[in-house]
Amino acid sequence: MTDSALRALADRFGTPLYVFDDRALMQRVRYLREALPARVGICFAIKANPFVLPALEPLVDRLEVCSPGEYRICRALGVPGEKVVLSGVNKDEPTVDDAVGTAGVPSVVTVESASQLALVRRVARARGLRVPVLLRLSSGNQFGLDRADLERAAREATGDPFLELRGVQFFSGTQKGSVRRIRREVARLGELACELRDGCGLETAEVEYGPGLPAEYFDDPDPAAERAFLESL
């Protein structure tokens, strides 16, 4: 947006004022669609900017919610339950029960600990439903399961009639400008999928991967450089 456009908005609405150009956001989503393989879906974490949901929701495959408050925003906006990824460490039983029982089963519920696995299983059994889950692999921080705990959770969940173990979720930070690092992470996820198949009988159907692609905050983006980066992955 130009300086004159921003000044006009400030005069109209006052300051402080937060302005978001949803046209640029929608263009960005379309750009990613064109640059990424057709089999790759796009999931938007609504904690980034929940107020863009009315414009963005039709353009993405899934919306990730990480708190009961974010889930309530999706409900209020009429987001289909099957489009929601119920994620995050702050999962309480009422929210999981509501998501599973009254709004249609979410596209997937992530599991970040042994207690969350027990919570999702408990709700699924009480509802008599089979709930799709992803096990979150920690990137070395406090979020998710380490490799050993993830394998234990996979063995526990495989074969459970109320859990549909779909695969793995892995977020590893933001602003990665290294193609080599992203390739290493994807290769490790492939190795993990093979280990889960051989050790647990799990055929990984999907991986939700947050690679932290680089984004320019202050200078004008270079579309040619961005496209070359994506196509080199």
- pLDDT (tens digit per residue) in 141-172: 889 999 999 999 999 998 899 999 999 999 98
Average pLDDT over residues 13-31: 87
Average pLDDT over residues 191-217: 90
pTM strictly above 0.85:
yes
Contact (CB, 8 A) for 79 and 63: yes
Contact (CB, 8 A) for 122 and 160: no
Distance between CA atoms of residues 83 and 99, nearest Å = 11
Residue with the bigger pLDDT between 1 and 42: it is: 42
- Average pLDDT over the chain reads 89
Average pLDDT over residues 11-16: 94
User: How many C-beta atoms lie closer than 10 Å to residue 35's C-beta?
Assistant: 16
Contact (CB, 8 A) for 72 and 39: no
Query: pLDDT tens digits, residue range 1-12?
Result: 788 988 999 999
